[in-house]
Structure 1
Amino acid sequence: MDKKLGLSALTALVLSSMLGAGVFSLPQNMAAVAGPAALLIGWLITGVGILLLSLAMLFLTRLQPELDGGIFAYARAGFGELMGFCSAWGYWLCAVIANVSYLVIVFSALSFFTDSPGHVVFGDGNTWQAMLGASVLLWLVHALVLRGVQTAASINLLATLGKLVPLLLFVVLAVLAFNLDRFRLDFTGVALGKPLWEQVKQTMLITLWVFIGVEGAVVVSARARHKKDVGRATLLAVLAALLVYLLVTLLSLGVVPRAELAQMRNPSMAGLMQHLIGHWGDAVIAIGLIISVCGAYLSWTIMAAEVPFLAAQQGAFPRSIARQNRHNAPAASLWLTNASVQVCLILIAVTGADYNTLLTIASEMILVPYLLVGLYLIKVVRGQQKPLLMLTGIGASLYGIWLLYASGPLHLLLSVVLYAPGVLLFLYARRGGRASNALSQLERIAIMMLMAASLPAVWQLAN
């Protein structure tokens, strides 16, 4: 039996990892910061940027088909052992913390069916009942992925189709209810009291996060049936997600006025659906949200386990993490990943801590590998007569720089707190000359600077 992933499974993996909880809150999030004109400009910039990034991945899968693991492999091949490790560590850590947030969101959405004003069961997803339920779901998905990535990816394909049903239903109903005059009301967002470009910039802070996961097929490229499907899946998923985001955002402004939409409670699509079909509307969206987040969580579990597994094969993580089970699932890496998620869930239950700052900082760490994709493409095609590929690399790099700027350089600087323990793991994995390549003098200096910078960063976070 062929255990490799085909085009449909790869496309579903990427699409599911991007279409999580954010799309259901997108109408209110966007309406609160921008008018229709700024939204159109913001989506144009994001659309061009994300397409350039996905094209860069497509070209690299064809130029460097021997590099499995995508963004980790590109960072390592292009910029050395340390940069490769930091890319893998940052990506994995972001995935772990993001998976915690997905589990919290699932049970927050379930509270729609279980809670009443005088009886709280799951609340905002941080009660002890929610944490217990999240732990059960965590280990159920763990058992599923242990049965093989192909099995998990097949179920993810069904989940992706399941999440698209309520989204497509919303789009159809919104098209029927769309009013052009309502959409054009305060087209430039004068009522917001902000210039058009400031509105555009604020939309970018939202749009840049909804595409995280675009690298899904590249991360699991070693498990692809055909390497050419990796780039195709990435491009198809990006186009599909972009279309969904555009329709959801713009059609909403033709259903209710922007000012009213900006005041809606999230997930705002539930309020819009209630406006369109009555009191059953919010239940439809709540079910859609649960399916969507569970699908995204499954995708991110696969990707989170794959990166340490591949990094361990290259000697960046301890070799023991490269162990697979009889189903060819990355068993050791999966245990490490889900044990880390479980620890986070216990800490939230015990301390009631707000991990949003940690999530923001960790999410910042995933943007650096995106920048390295564009820079690596430039490095690969430099000196060759391939202007299209060079322009794609430059465009993807500029978009990567823009993402880092728009999301806030301060959080990137604070992320050294999370890199410091990773560097210790990196040095442990390389102990006794176990790595095939020695570190350069520059990499040794970078490690010392990173460890030294973690101390003031910890102080800054504490204050």
Structure 2
Amino acid sequence: MTTTTETATARKLGTPALTAMVVGSMVGAGVFSLPRNFAQATGVIGAIVAWLIAGTGMLMLAFVFQILAVRKPALDAGVYAYAKAGFGEFPGFFSAFGYWASACVGNVTYWVLIGSTLGLVFPALGEGDTLLAIAVSAVGVWAFHFMIMRGTSEAAFVNQIVTVAKLLPILTFVVILLVTLQSEVLTANLWGAERTLSGLWSQVRETMLVTVFVFLGVEGASVYSRYARRRSDVGRATVLGFLSVLALFASVTLLSYGTAARPELAGLQQPSMAGVLETVVGGWGKTFIGAGLVVSVLGAYLAWTLMAAEVLNVAARDDDMPAFLRRENGHGVPVTAMLMTSILISAVLVVTLFSEDAFTFTLKLCSSLSLIPYLLAAGYALRLALSGETYDSAPRGRGKETVIAALAVVYTAFLIIAAGLEFLLLSCIIYAPGTALFVLTRRERARRVFTPPEAALFALTAVAAVAGVIALATGLITI
């Protein structure tokens, strides 16, 4: 059980601290990879279209979490709780498990990018996917594990400090590129490989999983809603953090096109922000961004590890995960959930040894795993608005909230389609065996394992997982 002192301290998180959790969750590895990832896919015009779509869609999701935080204040751990309340226990389990798995895979991208950054100085680390790099990363995983075991509120305080510190190099990057912008280079990079509408649309689709990845964490304040001083702080922090990060991401992307030709940007080693700044100011720029990346990524890793363990623990306390995941130490840290989180991160690190492009693979898999939880949360908000639940006592804004929720549903459904069949099947390979936790939970409570609709959903997931394994074995899908 959480101690009284620990709980009192944790519950004092107000808007600034919750906003720091949102910003700290989103500003991580993704922003440092944007120049190359966008240049490989499209030009300036395509990037603007992509950010408009992603910004609007993710803003609708941010509003969804704001709406749900106000209308369903009793629901903690955000994404998981909303899916369960809206669609039942098994979809709720999928949301919790998928969100947790997405966080773990996302954390692997952080270690890969750190390894790639240090690989510029120590070639044996390669691009973060060599045996030595994986070994060093594994040491880092468990070092963080034992630090977090000292207490959630202490780790949250560290995250606030790191969030401020890591924004400095990114803001410096934006200011330098704004001052040194070469308009003729920017103009030359207006278009991608094709200048047709169909070509532009194809280019924009190529960026969608990248934008999802960099925006993961928009629900950060919602996940920690039980620690909020006031429920209204949760929604305010979500929107404030999102808008700040959107402006930052778009600036990094668009200003980079004014430094070098698009093919040159597309060929940069990750973290590509370092290569861009080196082009502008020389070698110290690469070192400066590299140092900022390490601070930024470690801060994001801390925030995501906290959120991953929190979701498993809350699900267990709600009897939707096995009872062993409820276990907490004297500091209120969910020890078993933390252990499972660190183990999965370590396992995925090993998988990257067999990947052709470890960073891109883990980035896209992380994004794909997050889409189902996001879709279910948006669907729950739409269901509330259409049914009128919670609107009897507070009817104001129902029409606007219906439109917001509908747009969020359309956007997340579009992302699942844009991700493609490959990553949907890979996601099912993770979801299907994870169902064992759901089976164990039901048996602990002497309940029927599956209802008929749940059995149908599991069968569909299992078939997709088998298809994914066969595709991997035959080479139809590569990682």
Instruction: State the TM-score, normalized to the length of structure 2.
Output: 0.88
How many Å separate the matches in 2 of 1:35 and 1:428?
A: 50
Equivalent runs, 1:45-56 vs 2, <5 Å: 45-56=53-64
1:456 to 2:464 alignment = no
- Which residue, out of 238, 263, 266, partners 1:262? 266
Partner of 2:20: 12
8 Å contact kept, 2:116–2:126: yes
1:327 to 2:335 alignment = no
8 Å contact kept, 1:34–1:192: no
1:144 to 2:147 alignment = yes
How many Å separate the matches in 2 of 1:55 and 1:138?
A: 33
Aligned residues: 456
Per the TM alignment, residue 348 of structure 1 is displaced from its structure 2 partner at its CA by: 5.8
> 1:175–1:327: structure 2 CA closer, same or farther, 3 Å change rule?
same
Partner of 1:3: 10
> 1:188–1:382: structure 2 CA closer, same or farther, 3 Å change rule?
same
8 Å contact kept, 2:368–2:416: yes
Encode CA deviations 1:179-209: one digit per residue, 9 max, x unaligned. 3343223534476787333333333343232
Specify the code of the residue in structure 2 equivalent to 1:389: E
Partner of 1:305: 309
8 Å contact kept, 2:213–2:366: no
> 1:387–1:229: structure 2 CA closer, same or farther, 3 Å change rule?
same
Encode CA deviations 1:367-424: one digit per residue, 9 max, x unaligned. 0111111110111122435101101110110111111111113421443222221112
> 1:269–1:67: structure 2 CA closer, same or farther, 3 Å change rule?
same
Q: Give the 3-state SS of the residue equivalent to 1:270 in structure 2.
A: helix
State which drifts further: 153-162 or 200-209.
200-209
> 1:137–1:409: structure 2 CA closer, same or farther, 3 Å change rule?
same
> 1:321–1:13: structure 2 CA closer, same or farther, 3 Å change rule?
same
State which drifts further: 314-323 or 450-459.
450-459
Q: Give the 3-state SS of the residue equivalent to 2:74 in structure 1.
A: coil
Per the TM alignment, residue 96 of structure 1 is displaced from its structure 2 partner at its CA by: 1.9
How many Å separate the matches in 1 of 2:170 and 2:239?
A: 20
How many Å separate the matches in 2 of 1:283 and 1:64?
A: 46
Equivalent runs, 1:407-426 vs 2, <5 Å: 407-426=419-438
Equivalent runs, 1:216-295 vs 2, <5 Å: 216-295=220-299
How many Å separate the matches in 2 of 1:112 and 1:175?
A: 26
> 1:46–1:354: structure 2 CA closer, same or farther, 3 Å change rule?
closer
8 Å contact kept, 1:90–1:362: no
Partner of 1:173: 176
Equivalent runs, 1:100-179 vs 2, <5 Å: 100-113=108-121, 115=122, 120-179=123-182
Partner of 1:443: 454
1:318 to 2:322 alignment = yes
State which drifts further: 21-30 or 309-318.
21-30
Consecutive unaligned residues of structure 1, counting only runs of 5 or more, are: none
8 Å contact kept, 1:144–1:151: no
- Which residue, out of 370, 393, 405, partners 1:393? 405
How many Å separate the matches in 2 of 1:186 and 1:66?
A: 50
How many Å separate the matches in 2 of 1:315 and 1:440?
A: 17
How many Å separate the matches in 1 of 2:324 and 2:28?
A: 32
How many Å separate the matches in 1 of 2:231 and 2:251?
A: 31
Encode CA deviations 1:24-76: one digit per residue, 9 max, x unaligned. 22122212322222221221111111111100100000000000011100110
RMSD value, Cα? 2.5
How many Å separate the matches in 2 of 1:274 and 1:353?
A: 26
Specify the code of the residue in structure 2 equivalent to 1:79: F
8 Å contact kept, 1:74–1:84: yes
> 1:424–1:263: structure 2 CA closer, same or farther, 3 Å change rule?
closer
Specify the code of the residue in structure 2 equivalent to 1:306: E
Per the TM alignment, residue 124 of structure 1 is displaced from its structure 2 partner at its CA by: 2.5
Per the TM alignment, residue 317 of structure 1 is displaced from its structure 2 partner at its CA by: 1.2
> 1:42–1:83: structure 2 CA closer, same or farther, 3 Å change rule?
same
Specify the code of the residue in structure 1 equivalent to 2:440: Y
How many Å separate the matches in 2 of 1:398 and 1:317?
A: 30
How many Å separate the matches in 1 of 2:364 and 2:377?
A: 21
8 Å contact kept, 1:87–1:369: yes
Per the TM alignment, residue 163 of structure 1 is displaced from its structure 2 partner at its CA by: 1.5
- Which residue, out of 88, 107, 120, partners 1:80? 88
How many Å separate the matches in 1 of 2:150 and 2:405?
A: 38
Consecutive unaligned residues of structure 2, counting only runs of 5 or more, are: 389-394, 475-479
Identity %: 39
8 Å contact kept, 2:309–2:334: yes
Per the TM alignment, residue 12 of structure 1 is displaced from its structure 2 partner at its CA by: 1.9
How many Å separate the matches in 1 of 2:435 and 2:86?
A: 19
Encode CA deviations 1:238-284: one digit per residue, 9 max, x unaligned. 11111111111111222334344334333222122123222211110
1:427 to 2:431 alignment = no
Q: Give the 3-state SS of the residue equivalent to 2:120 in structure 1.
A: helix
State which drifts further: 258-267 or 426-435.
258-267
Q: Give the 3-state SS of the residue equivalent to 2:190 in structure 1.
A: coil
Partner of 2:392: none
How many Å separate the matches in 1 of 2:193 and 2:125?
A: 40
Partner of 2:300: 296
How many Å separate the matches in 2 of 1:289 and 1:94?
A: 21
State which drifts further: 389-398 or 339-348.
339-348
State which drifts further: 29-38 or 66-75.
29-38
> 1:163–1:415: structure 2 CA closer, same or farther, 3 Å change rule?
same
> 1:456–1:276: structure 2 CA closer, same or farther, 3 Å change rule?
closer
- Which residue, out of 54, 68, 75, partners 2:76? 68
Partner of 1:24: 32
State which drifts further: 179-188 or 233-242.
179-188
8 Å contact kept, 1:55–1:231: yes
8 Å contact kept, 1:178–1:254: yes
How many Å separate the matches in 2 of 1:454 and 1:268?
A: 34
Encode CA deviations 1:125-152: one digit per residue, 9 max, x unaligned. 2344433322322122112221221111
How many Å separate the matches in 1 of 2:203 and 2:126?
A: 33
